[in-house]
Structure 1
């Protein structure tokens, strides 16, 4: 396109020079104009082709950005029989299970930007029960220890404040931070320290990892969303990534409208 533009510009400059510096030559001028008209036509074709490519690129980008849901089998014992962290009304219609990693920047982004809106509009209103499980990735060396610290805090009723502290300090995850936060939260430090070393706590995290793998989860954050019916999660959908609040809102609203 630049080649055509430069050529047209050159020809436009040359036409007045031909007219002003030598006797009129109608045939030559007409030939120059015909060539110019042809280049303009060719340029229009190029522009139309480029515009078509741009529209196709936009369409492909929109398809890539659209969240992909995957239907899952009904999830029995989805809440670990009350043994995993949760918030919300036990009589809620919808449940969402977050699989997270405390060193995952996308998990932090979700927590900082989307989680609060879900809590305010769906959890606090009694529509949705929010549950969490751990999926520390192998290349995040501190994530598993942080998950254990959060679950030890859960045992003393302070899971959510510890979770907030861990994400807020995700670059400094270590035992000293866990102990300090536990102290700030007025936890029983002796019990908390013993819990950090309890092999069962590490096994619990491994069980979450195994469950995530069976669900086809490969990264964080990932979410399982479905309707609660007879103690099971039915119509479950797997949502991958730190999606915008509107994605979750639309999914919740669709599930809430679905007749039992």
Structure 2
């Protein structure tokens, strides 16, 4: 499952539909939603009994039941149909495509040996962030740059990621090479909640400190915050790094 602003979305492997589920899909393909009497009549005419109909319509992962208008006014629809347009705006369907592509790398492993060890998933992650774009905003400073001046930066060090994390598109965000990549990678700044926070301190470096001061407190665009919040390094890890 992936958690979106509109609820949980299933992104696992699907199984074959049974006969009544196929008939239910056929019914909804003729319209976006229906009342229970409409569904009951349609499925009854197909020869299904009431217990079977109730189970399929009220306790199925395929069906969304909108109960906001009261018991006698439930509205039934296929899961995903009503939120499809919203999901497209959020890039959730695109996320699923890239997630599946990345997961396929598990069959051969995420590293390949050429002249050196290469990050096999990196090309896909770069496509996820930059395909079809000439410019994008840096997740740290928020300024717009050419995609050639941005990198697909891991929210936490790739070496600390397990396979599932390495193969999650949300593990990366665009970060500029004009300074933010260096500052974030070395924990001079980090992300907590929705804000940029000050991390390690520069010693006798007023210019760097002044630059960081402009970043501290800035709100990160919500699209770069999607995914597991544990991807972002916590203040505790910053302190651990300081004590070494």
Query: Normalization by structure 2: what TM-score?
Result: 0.25
Query: Normalization by structure 1: what TM-score?
Result: 0.24
- Normalized per residue, the structure richer in strand is 2
- Normalized per residue, the structure richer in helix is 1
